[in-house]
Amino acid sequence: MEVKRIAVLGAGLMGHGICQVAAQTGGYEVNLYDIEQRFLDNGLGMIKGSLDKFKTKGTLSEAQVNEIMNRIHPQLDLKEAVKNADLIIEVTPEIPDLKKQVFANVDQWAPAHAVIASNTSSISITELASATKRPTQVCGMHFFNPPQLMKLVEVIRGTLSSDETINTVLETAHKMGKETVLVKKDVPGFIVNRILFPALNEAVALYYEGIADRDDIDKAIMLGLNWPMGPLKLLDYIGADTTLAIGDVLTREVDPKFHATPGLKAIVRAKLLGRKTGKGFYEWTQK
């Protein structure tokens, strides 16, 4: 199936980036949906700010920036956002019941041919698909933060996902300039987070047990394992709450060995979530 218009549901940290890549690199018309005008305004502001950086560097002209922004259509009405979309990418918080309600509503209003993909980092694609009457047209499309820079997209096959659905999403991701990997079974955490969560969890444990300082933990992993960023700084980028949510799903659905360290639970309770709240292991400013 050829995708001409994409609906991105959620204008937040990940959603605005996915929207930008779809409009900028993919050249798609994009309906960007959120529940409040302030969320849309913030997301559109971040997209414009990112594009202006490209303009300053000379890689985009003023006309190109305007063309990209004109391909983005903000929406406060979910029905309007999905009614003419070929591919819907859901980017709502990692709350299963919330996502399932969104999927049920989208299924009711989206065209019969449309594919619904979730950017979930841990929730079962098959469970989300069960909220629709088109489970063969549902799959996972997991981008990485920030979507404008990170090349990888994990495409996840639900139990009932059709080959056509998977191929549609793979082709769309490639048109958006992404490298893809196919997760052949619907397992929590997919590939990256199943490997990454234990590393982040142990980094927090090392810090909270007083075994090493923040900077030394991050330096050790950057230099010892050749990571471009240390695990504690990466956790600040992902968000401690999102990381904990992934760990809870892995613990419940895969193996108790994935249980979150008390330190990770403590920073979430303290709302030291990282970049999104301005403070985590590091201090973050709006700039």
Summarised one tens digit per residue, pLDDT across range 118-144 is 999 878 999 999 999 999 999 999 999
Whole-number Å distance between alpha carbons of 38 and 31:
16
265-269: long-range pairs with CB below 8 Å, 24+? 266/208, 267/204, 267/240, 268/240, 268/241, 268/244
Whole-number Å distance between alpha carbons of 162 and 175:
20
152-225-244-145 Cα dihedral, nearest 10 degrees: -30
The answer to whether residues 133 and 104 touch, using CB atoms and an 8 Å cutoff, is: no
Which residue, among 9, 10, 15, 27, has the nearest Cα to 172 in the 3D structure? 27
Q: At what angle do helices 240-253 and 192-208 cross, to 10 degrees?
A: 120
Using CA atoms, how far residue 130 sits from 79, 108, 138, in Å, is 20, 13, 9
Q: Taking the mean position of all CA atoms in its chain, how far away is CA 104?
A: 20
Which class for 114: exposed (0-12), middle (13-18), buried (19 or more C-beta within 10 A)? buried
pLDDT tens profile 67-79: 999 999 999 999 9
Q: Quote the pLDDT of residue 150.
A: 93
Tokens, residue 152 = 């990888």
* Alpha-helix residue ranges (DSSP H) falling in 58-123: 62-70, 78-82, 96-109
Q: What is the pTM of this model?
A: 0.87
Cross-strand pairs, 179 = 152
Q: At what angle do helices 231-238 and 192-208 cross, to 10 degrees?
A: 110
Q: Quote the pLDDT of residue 47.
A: 97
List per-residue pLDDT tens for the chain, 287 residues long. 899 999 999 999 899 999 999 999 999 999 999 999 999 999 999 999 999 999 999 999 999 999 999 999 999 999 999 999 999 999 998 888 999 999 999 999 999 999 999 999 878 999 999 999 999 999 999 999 889 989 999 999 999 999 999 999 999 999 999 999 999 999 888 999 899 999 999 999 999 999 999 999 999 999 999 999 999 999 998 899 989 988 998 998 889 999 999 999 999 999 999 998 999 999 997 55
Return the active site residues. Answer: 121, 142, 154, 193
Domains in the chain: ranges and CATH: 5-183 (3.40.50.720), 193-269 (1.10.1040.10)
Q: Quote the pLDDT of residue 156.
A: 97
* Alpha-helix residue ranges (DSSP H) falling in 148-239: 163-175, 192-208, 214-224, 231-238
